[in-house]
Structure 1
Amino acid sequence: MTTQYDALLLLSFGGPEGPDDVLPFLENVTRGRGIPRERLAAVGEHYHLFGGVSPINQQCRDLKAAIEKDLKDHSIDLPVYWGNRNWTPYLADTVREMTQDGVRHAAAFVTSAYSGYSTNDQYVEDIARARAEVPGAPEIDKLPVYCRRAGFVAPFVDATRAALSAAPQDTHLVFTAHSVPLAQPNRELYVAELEEVAATVADEAAPGVPWALVYQSRSGPPSQPWLEPDVCDHLETLHDAGVRSVVTVPIGFVSDHMEVKYDLDHEAAAKADKLGMRFVRVPTPGTDPRFAALARELLTEARTTGGRA
């Protein structure tokens, strides 16, 4: 059965675009989790180091433009909308705009490549919640996870190979992804996919180079077990083993947003500097044409298979 989509929705996490946005944004992200306000203020300082602006919204604007160009280049006349889970443009507002424009059935391409609750299932829930807020909302199918697809993996392979070409021979690869609680639903599938992607990138970009998968950006209470090891702890372990050079590959992320810019470029880089280690972080896919084309490829396949997440 063929599915006729009349729009593509780019769905992302969202982020503050000025100092006054930071605390309200963090309150949106943590609503219902009982996070103390002082903890939110502490996390907010990460954003204030960058003027209170998260890179993610501009990255979504740039990705939206890249997807629109790719669709046009392939003679696909389809409007592309953009909505966020936690900041403007809010998903429900975007769904309302789509409804007013007469959209009846859209496909959603999310800025998260993996399976798991926070990386996949929560997006499905957010789509359902937004549709419930808008009378006459279009049907919206979340496109399948794409962590294994060449449009996501190949940019990491090329960037890793380039970074290693200028690195000392004893360099280790450090693959990072967002940590999640061990109790989170579908955590095992999330980890299995990360391990597979890390192995693929390592094998294609640097066969024989030692590597490890580690985690970053933990935000839960100390009493709650999360995926480990933390990237900074791993740097200490490598240092103690005599390693003095690392190339860090953030395979858990599609763009260089705050958790890459702060947790890796600021925090992990500072840890490496303190340890006297060379630290290089490779870029994420971002607006790489291969990644932008992935939205079209998934959409085209879903049209013919009716596939969804």
Structure 2
Amino acid sequence: MGEFDALLWLSFGGPEKPEDVRPFLENVTRGRGVPPERLDEVEHHYQSFGGVSPINALNRSAIQATEASLERQGIDLPVYFGNRNWHPMVEDTLARMADDGVRRALVFPTSAYGGYSACRQYDEDIERARAAVGERAPELVKLRQFFDHPLFVGAFADAVRSAAADLGEYRLVFTAHSVPLAADAASGPPSEGGGRYSRQVAEAARLVAGEAGVADHDVVWQSRSGPPSVPWLEPDILDHLDVLAGKGVPAVVVCPVGFVSDHLEVVWDLDTEAREKAAELGMGFARAACPSGDVRFADLVVELVREHVADAPARKLSDFPAAGCTVNGAPCAPLCCEPQRRRG
């Protein structure tokens, strides 16, 4: 396994002032064919919150908790913070790590799942950042996916119970970020038959529901952003609320199991749009908190680190593949989570 001298916290990024919003969105959607009117709509979402995404602040808070957990467990690793789409950009962070003398570092990507955007694109972030820094770039080893880690599942299960505490009868609905059907079909290595992302989300939902003591649940999707002509994973959370209301369901607990923090896609798509939709339908609504603010999330990160620095066993609650551990961005299997346009 070898020695490591830092941990890189690698995340999506988000604007922290109004004038950042449009260039941030253009970074995120470059080359994806997202129509300008969709960017206008999403920009309005950000401006409704003062042009500031919660994601960077949530990451910094989780990093502080992780630093404290590392210290408690006697692991001497400084934690650096870099983003894919906005400052601090990962290229700049990696250059600073090189200036600080870091030669070999672990990388924690803030996504629990497989798929292109959730996993493979972080490999590409690593490749791009190392290329920008050049020969002095540290060696980087990306930690594995953690959708079925007991601390991840336990934090969400407690959040579901807390959200449901003031409701009577309710339906538990899990959400994750929708992706194009072709992207989901390409997630995982070809030998696996595709669909790793959606299957991992379904498995995480099953595990959380079981831990929370809920016998039945639904898995739906949110935050679609692509052109209308491209089919995406469905049903959408808003459409599903219509269906549940038609069945006489009195209330819902929505658990954003596809996300690790309460960032803008959670607070807008769920706390704003879905909550308003439920109110229109006369349904009770509660939303389970994401785990990044739970102390168990910091301990989860440290457990993933210990798999590399102390040969600790990998704790998993399922037999589903949880790959994603890579060195310097090399994919975990040939064509694993390759975008469909590249496979062609």
TM category, shorter: over 0.9
Pair 60,80 (structure 1): closer, same or farther in 2 beyond 3 Å = same
8 A Cα contact 2:8 2:106, kept in partner = yes
d(CA) in 1 for partners of 2:130, 2:112: 23
TM-score normalized by the length of structure 2 = 0.86
The residue identity in structure 2 corresponding to 1:151 is: L
Farther-moved stretch of structure 1 (160-169 vs 241-250): 160-169
| Offset from partner CA, 1:180-238 (integer Å, 9 cap, x none) | 01111206011111111111111121232x31000000001111010000000000000
The residue identity in structure 2 corresponding to 1:198 is: A
| 3-state SS of paired residue (1:122) | helix
| 3-state SS of paired residue (2:182) | coil
| Offset from partner CA, 1:27-53 (integer Å, 9 cap, x none) | 100112233434312210000110000
Other-structure match for 2:243: 237
d(CA) in 2 for partners of 1:207, 1:269: 21
The residue identity in structure 1 corresponding to 2:152 is: F
Other-structure match for 1:223: 229
Other-structure match for 1:86: 85
d(CA) in 2 for partners of 1:38, 1:159: 35
d(CA) in 1 for partners of 2:57, 2:177: 21
Alignment of 1:234-273 (within 5 A): 234-273=240-279
| 3-state SS of paired residue (1:140) | strand
Alignment of 1:69-108 (within 5 A): 69-108=68-107
1:214 pairs with one of 220, 242, 252: 220
- In the TM superposition, residue 164 of structure 1 has moved relative to its aligned partner by 2.4
The residue identity in structure 1 corresponding to 2:200 is: E
Other-structure match for 1:114: 113
1:308 pairs with one of 299, 320, 325: 325
Other-structure match for 1:149: 149
8 A Cα contact 1:302 1:308, kept in partner = no
Other-structure match for 1:189: 196
Other-structure match for 1:164: 164
Number of equivalences: 306
d(CA) in 2 for partners of 1:283, 1:33: 30
Alignment of 1:20-99 (within 5 A): 20-99=19-98
Gapped regions of structure 2 (runs ≥ 5) = 188-193, 313-323, 327-344
Q: Percent identity, aligned pairs only?
A: 54
Q: Please list every run of at least 4 consecutive aligned residues from structure 1 whose deviation after the TM superposition is greater than 6 angstroms.
A: none
| Offset from partner CA, 1:244-297 (integer Å, 9 cap, x none) | 200000000000000000000001111111111101001000221111011111
The residue identity in structure 2 corresponding to 1:192 is: R
- In the TM superposition, residue 159 of structure 1 has moved relative to its aligned partner by 1.1
d(CA) in 1 for partners of 2:19, 2:277: 30
Other-structure match for 1:17: 16
d(CA) in 2 for partners of 1:251, 1:34: 27
- In the TM superposition, residue 304 of structure 1 has moved relative to its aligned partner by 5.1
The residue identity in structure 2 corresponding to 1:107 is: L
Pair 192,34 (structure 1): closer, same or farther in 2 beyond 3 Å = closer
Q: Does 1:277 align with 2:283?
A: yes
| Offset from partner CA, 1:65-113 (integer Å, 9 cap, x none) | 1111111111211110000000000000000000111111111111111
| 3-state SS of paired residue (1:99) | helix
d(CA) in 2 for partners of 1:38, 1:228: 22
The residue identity in structure 2 corresponding to 1:128 is: E
- In the TM superposition, residue 241 of structure 1 has moved relative to its aligned partner by 0.6
- CA RMSD, Structure 1 to Structure 2 (Å): 1.4
- In the TM superposition, residue 305 of structure 1 has moved relative to its aligned partner by 5.7
d(CA) in 1 for partners of 2:203, 2:325: 22
8 A Cα contact 1:3 1:305, kept in partner = no
| 3-state SS of paired residue (1:286) | helix
